[in-house]
Amino acid sequence: MSKLGIIGVLFFGYSMFAAAQNLEITSEQGHRLNETLKYCGWCHGPTGEQEVSMAPRLAGQSAQYLQNQIENFTTHRRDNPNAKNLMWMAVKRLDKDLIPYVTQFYSEQQTRPFTNVDEELVLEGREIYHKGIPSKNVMGCTFCHGPEAKGLGAFPRLASQDRYYLIGQLHDWQHGYRAYADPMPGFAKALDNHEIKALAEYLTSL
């Protein structure tokens, strides 16, 4: 199936979903939504399960969190190098009226765990995720991201996220980028490289 074909099917699925949610969409908006999803799909993949490795998965992500990040890219509050180079431009091609549809679309997509994980690291990451590191004042991540890391509202889903993206965000916080993301910069600065690797390995496996 061509990429266009896939999007066509997705859009059909989306229309069914929108109808079920009583979200109204005109055919003119539907056409623009199709084009937008195709564009975002270059990097995030047709269903938000990722196409290029530095772009995070959007599939299954909280719609509220996605909206917040689109706002942060638009206002340049989110200033990670990759965000600046790629997302500041991308959000200019996203019509404001489509934001609720785009974020709802991705939040409804299925995603699967990454395989080929290092089991030993996964166990270490699991321990930190659930218990935190009390000696460093890092609380358990479950507290905000949920026991299965599925996120909710403004708290992002971390389960099945690309490990290199997760490691990248935590390092970016250590270097002072994406500062408007309370309370994450403080936690990231308290973690060492091995702890970050273990957490990312665990989360990617969920």
Q: Which residues bind ligand HEC (CB under 6 A)?
A: 36, 39-40, 42-44, 54-56, 58, 66, 68-70, 80, 82-83, 86-87, 90, 93-94, 102, 138-139, 141, 143-145, 154-156, 158, 166, 168-170, 181, 183-184, 187, 199
87 in Cβ contact with 172 (< 8 Å): no
Q: How far is the CB of 49 from ligand HEC (least distance, A)?
A: 13
- Distance in Å, CB of 91 to ligand HEC, minimum: 6
Residue 15 or 74: the one with the smaller Cβ distance to ligand HEC is: 74
* Of residues 12 and 143, the one with the C-beta less far from ligand HEC: 143
Distance CA 90, CA 182 (A): 24
> Which is closer to ligand HEC, CB of 13 or CB of 146?
146
Instruction: Spell out the long-range contacts of 89-93 with Cβ–Cβ below 8 A and sequence spacing 24 or more.
Output: 90/39, 90/40, 90/43, 93/36, 93/39
Q: Which of 13, 78, 11 is nearest to 41 (CA)?
A: 11
User: What is the nearest approach in angstroms of ligand HEC to the Cβ of residue 28?
Assistant: 18
Look at residues 97, 77, 1 and name the one whose alpha carbon lies nearest to residue 46. Answer: 1
Pair 125, 198: CB distance under 8 Å: yes
Q: For the CB of residue 40, give the shortest distance to ligand HEC in the complex, in Å.
A: 3
